[in-house]
Structure 1
């Protein structure tokens, strides 16, 4: 099964721009913008649909539950209906690890684990997954649902960028008493997985797959990488965990930078296994290790300053 053309829905963001640039090296890539009233009539013939559209962040605190439902569920349904009647054979839908777990895990998460989303974002992402898997597909079409953890890279304006700004300005790191392991995925490894799926579509069946860097990394290790990259002597504050948790509880009622949910995300383990997709696609090694990916991203922040 050889594909030549790809349509990306949601190509204007960090993820879409990076993926488009990478896929253009090997495929004809078109972008479709759902904000156009007549977007369905603008879709050219294509072999692969990639759905990156979704709402993840609410930095201003004004989003409603229905905003997440519309972006993450209703628009997914619209894209699927077009895919079903199109000439395309493969739909790659980018979901999120938040569809299965958002705060902590006692072991690396696998695709068969019970889902426990606890935010409007995670719940809407899981809802879209379930709806897609319930649909009847023509025998020659496949839907691959991808669950990545936090994706980072050049141009990223998410939590890693925020952490870099704080540490590079000399702010002390107050959570040094906590030890944790987290899964991430660099944009290079994300693009690698997407290209591998497109190239080996005949090997993979409709379903959900986790992708991530091979290695986990701790928040403390990320802080050290930022310190080394920015040449800053930052103090690691080893404060009592009980004190930090008390401050976080105050943040649940008063608008300060730390609350119990944010503390859990920063200090708990949340890891994911990528072995299922690596086994199916016979992938032995990813382009970057977790540490190499973080270093590359942090260095890009330094250049952009």
Structure 2
């Protein structure tokens, strides 16, 4: 089976390409090439991983997010419609539904509450895709993962690892939280299962995540276990931490309001819909096993 994958240079794209190469013929399509349509091969599947999530230099505009997350998605989908491929997998984000906080595991029917330019653009792309009429021989699956972690990850988990591995006390112990994640192994497993069993799924939106929910404190324990370090957890007063985060909104320090929310608030998701549809009882890795594997990859990169 041949697959066109868009967005293979990122952390997720590199890992997914390596995994799918084991069983499929992969064509990596770069949209940086203005003639990217010429790179397309006759395939059965299109996978869209193209997306703009980070603005490390704080120079991106709302139009930048819209162009990458909406306009390019439309271009890729239209290329899919014009092709002979039967399956279009679009990787959206849980942020299109909710970015910061939930009091229960979120499902696909919950009301969307995107906040940032990134989240709003991902949601706009979802709405556009869901409004498109598909030919009878084609199917579209839109996936909403929470934070994906694994080898090559450069996100908040790396920052937390660097803090704990250096023996620096964790300063946010006064916050209690529960969050959903997905390891890159389980992410790739879901993609592979969708490709192999696409007839079991109706076109639509599906959540993917690890089965278990974990807290920041549990992640810290895992890092301490892998690194064989014992560090103190410091419960700084919440008002002090929130004030410090507001300073980080202005000055370039490691903590800001958005990062604080992502590290300390509850954000849980249910993966039951897609597991039931595909007949999946258990994922390859538990949440803890996936985190241990990721942390060990960080130690090798030191």
TM-score with structure 2 setting the length: 0.97
Structure 1's 255 and 31: CA in aligned 2 closer, same or farther, altered over 3 A?
closer
What CA distance in whole angstroms lies between the structure 1 residues aligned with 2:250 and 2:47? Answer: 40
1:284 maps to: 281
Q: What are the within-5 Å matches in structure 2 for residues 204-223 of structure 1?
A: 204-223=201-220
- Aligned residue for 1:185, secondary structure, equals strand
CA deviation string 1:163-185 (max 9, x = no partner): 21122122211001111100000
What CA distance in whole angstroms lies between the structure 2 residues aligned with 1:110 and 1:244? Answer: 31
CA deviation string 1:241-261 (max 9, x = no partner): 233233334444444333333
2:266 maps to: 269
Q: What are the within-5 Å matches in structure 2 for residues 105-184 of structure 1?
A: 105-184=102-181
1:16 maps to: 13
2:68 maps to: 71
What CA distance in whole angstroms lies between the structure 1 residues aligned with 2:247 and 2:152? Answer: 33
Match of 1:56 among 38, 41, 53: 53
Match of 1:94 among 73, 91, 95: 91
- In structure 1, stretches of 5+ residues that fail to align are none
1:189 maps to: 186
1:227 maps to: 224
TM-score with structure 1 setting the length: 0.96
Aligned residue pairs: how many?
Answer: 302
Residue 61 of structure 1: how far off its partner (Å): 1.2
2:77 maps to: 80
What CA distance in whole angstroms lies between the structure 2 residues aligned with 1:250 and 1:42? Answer: 47
Please identify, of 99-108 and 58-67, the stretch whose mean Cα deviation from structure 2 is larger. Answer: 58-67
- Aligned residue for 1:227, secondary structure, equals helix
Match of 2:44 among 44, 47, 51: 47
CA deviation string 1:96-125 (max 9, x = no partner): 000000000011000010000100110000
CA deviation string 1:118-148 (max 9, x = no partner): 0011000000000001111111101100000
What CA distance in whole angstroms lies between the structure 2 residues aligned with 1:158 and 1:261? Answer: 13
Residue 240 of structure 1: how far off its partner (Å): 2.3
Residue 269 of structure 1: how far off its partner (Å): 0.5
Please identify, of 16-25 and 292-301, the stretch whose mean Cα deviation from structure 2 is larger. Answer: 16-25
What is the aligned-residue RMSD (CA, Å)? 1.2
CA deviation string 1:23-48 (max 9, x = no partner): 11111111111111211122110000
- Aligned residue for 1:208, secondary structure, equals strand
